[in-house]
Structure 1
Amino acid sequence: MSLSPRIIAFLLAVLISGLTVAFLSVVDGVTINMLFVVAVSSFIVSFFLILYAVELLVYREVNKMYKTIRRLKLRDFNLSNKTIIKNNNPFKKLNDEIFVYVAKKQKEIDELKRLEQFRREFLADVSHELKTPIFAAQGFIHTLIDGAVDDEFVRDKFLAKAARSLDGLDALVKDLVALSQLETGEIRMHLERVDIYQITLEIFEQLENIAEAKGITLRIKSSLQRSDVIRADVARLGAARPDAARTDLQGPVWVMADPQRITQVMTNLIENGIKYGNDAGKVVVSFADDKKHISISVRDDGPGIAPEHLSRIFERFYRVEKSRSKERGGTGLGLAIVKHILNAHKSKITVMSKPDKGTMFRFKLEKAVETEL
Structure 2
Amino acid sequence: MSNATIIFLLTLCIMILICIIVYQQFVFHNGTKAKIHEISSKLKELLDTDSDEKVTVFTDNKALIELATQINRMLEDRQKVKVEYRRAEMASKKMLSNISHDIKTPMTVILGYLEIMRLNGTQSNEMLQKIESTAQRVMGLITQFFTLAKLEAGDTDMPLERLNVNEACRENILDFYELLSQKNFEVEINIPDHVLYANANKDALQRIMFNLISNAIRYGGDGKYLGMFLRADQAHIYIDIVDRGRGIEKEFAASVFDRLFTMEDSRNSAMQGNGLGLTIAKNLALQLGGDITLESHPHQKTVFTITLKKMAY
Class of the TM-score when normalised by the shorter of the 2 chains: 0.7 to 0.9
Query: Kindly, what percent of the aligned residue pairs are identical?
Result: 24
Structure number with greater Rg is: 1
Tell me the residue number matched to 2:66.
Answer: 93
Contact 2:223/2:244 (<8 A) preserved: no
Tell me the residue number matched to 1:347.
Answer: 290
Aligned length: 294
Q: Which moved more, 1:287-296 or 1:138-147?
A: 287-296
Contact 1:216/1:279 (<8 A) preserved: no
Tell me the residue number matched to 2:277.
Answer: 334
Cα distance change of structure 1 residues 185 and 64 upon mapping to structure 2, 3 Å threshold:
closer
Q: Which TM-score applies when normalising by structure 2?
A: 0.77
Amino acid in the other structure paired with 1:324: A
Please state if 1:158 is matched with 2:127.
yes
> 1:180: how far off?
1.2
Separation in 2, partners of 1:352, 1:110: 29
Unaligned runs of 5+ in 1: 1-27, 78-86, 225-249
Unaligned runs of 5+ in 2: 56-60
Tell me the residue number matched to 1:311.
Answer: 254
Separation in 2, partners of 1:346, 1:76: 37
Tell me the residue number matched to 1:80.
Answer: none
Tell me the residue number matched to 2:238.
Answer: 295
Please state if 1:205 is matched with 2:148.
no
Tell me the residue number matched to 1:194.
Answer: 163
1:1-373 mapped onto 2 (5 Å cutoff): 89=63, 91-147=64-120, 149-150=121-122, 155-221=124-190, 250-279=193-222, 281-316=224-259, 318-321=261-264, 324-326=270-272, 332-370=275-313
Contact 1:297/1:362 (<8 A) preserved: yes
Separation in 1, partners of 2:112, 2:32: 77
Separation in 2, partners of 1:178, 1:195: 25
Q: Which TM-score applies when normalising by structure 1?
A: 0.66
Amino acid in the other structure paired with 1:325: M
Counterpart secondary structure, 1:351: strand
Separation in 2, partners of 1:290, 1:62: 59
> 1:106: how far off?
2.4
> 1:196: how far off?
1.8
Deviations 1:275-312 (A, max 9, x none): 22254632222222221221222121111101222122
Cα distance change of structure 1 residues 317 and 138 upon mapping to structure 2, 3 Å threshold:
farther
Q: RCO higher in 1 or 2 (8 Å CA, sep ≥ 6)?
A: 2
Cα distance change of structure 1 residues 162 and 331 upon mapping to structure 2, 3 Å threshold:
farther
Contact 1:217/1:280 (<8 A) preserved: no
Separation in 2, partners of 1:114, 1:343: 20
Contact 1:309/1:320 (<8 A) preserved: no
> 1:88: how far off?
5.2
Separation in 2, partners of 1:177, 1:74: 36
Deviations 1:138-194 (A, max 9, x none): 1111111122x33x5xx2222111111100001111111111111112212121222
> 1:357: how far off?
2.3
Cα distance change of structure 1 residues 126 and 74 upon mapping to structure 2, 3 Å threshold:
same
> 1:350: how far off?
1.1
Contact 2:242/2:302 (<8 A) preserved: yes
Contact 2:52/2:79 (<8 A) preserved: no
Separation in 1, partners of 2:53, 2:251: 26
Cα RMSD, aligned residues only = 3.9
Cα distance change of structure 1 residues 75 and 139 upon mapping to structure 2, 3 Å threshold:
farther
> 1:29: how far off?
7.7
Amino acid in the other structure paired with 1:118: A
Cα distance change of structure 1 residues 161 and 103 upon mapping to structure 2, 3 Å threshold:
same
Counterpart secondary structure, 1:212: helix
Tell me the residue number matched to 1:10.
Answer: none
Counterpart secondary structure, 1:125: helix
Separation in 2, partners of 1:288, 1:67: 58
Q: Which moved more, 1:342-351 or 1:284-293?
A: 284-293
Contact 1:61/1:92 (<8 A) preserved: no
> 1:134: how far off?
0.9
Tell me the residue number matched to 1:13.
Answer: none
Amino acid in the other structure paired with 1:119: S
